[in-house]
Amino acid sequence: MVFDLDGTLVDAYAAIHESLGVVLAAFGRPPVTRDETRRMVGHGLEILIAEAVGGENVAEGVRLFRERYERVGLEATRLLPGAESVTRILYESGIRLAIASNKPARFTRPLLEGFGISGRFDFVAGPDDGYPPKPAPHMVFMALSTMGVPGKDAVFVGDMPVDVATARAAELSIIALPTGSATRKELEACSPDAIVENLEALLPLLLAS
């Protein structure tokens, strides 16, 4: 199984919202709400900053964002309900797990370690590891290679249309959850293979055999 992170396994919107607020203030832009932040994320940090303060300010905006996020990221991020138990059950059932996220891996890895679940994942990557951001399938291909699993035996789990597009590009099945930045209606429009309401609902689908 290849998981997305934000909105799929963790709720990082408070930390992202605070860090984005620092960037907006630095460039004299009006603040945005946490719900607006939720709708903006998921396509990579550079795209988020470009949308917030303009492409000409990306480099400095990214620097400011990372500076704040490194201070508040772990403290202000929470596992989504079921993330600990579901990943534990899958891991103990012998299912290989990976994470392919547009969040920089420099943030993802400390989060997983802080939550005590990093050892369950064979592969964790983000665009800062040298991969193009999703929906490019490169991270997924490397995850499968690292785990030694063919695509026909893998499934992607994510919360956004970009995750559906990523899975399609990698020729993986895709299960979507309306627990992050996209509504169920938006996910339905992308035609994933399945939509489940929460992480616990994955288990009957994945462990039925």
Active-site hit among 4, 6, 11, 159: 4
Active-site residue flag, 153 = no
Contact at 8 Å (CB) between 35 and 181? no
Expressed in angstroms, the distance from the first to the final Cα of the chain is 15
Residue 92, burial from CB neighbour count under 10 angstroms (0-12, 13-18, 19+): exposed
SS (H, E, C) 15-32: HHHHHHHHHHHHCCCCCC
Contact at 8 Å (CB) between 79 and 113? no
Cα dist. 182→35, 58, 206 in Å? Answer: 11, 25, 23
Which residues form the catalytic set?
Answer: 4
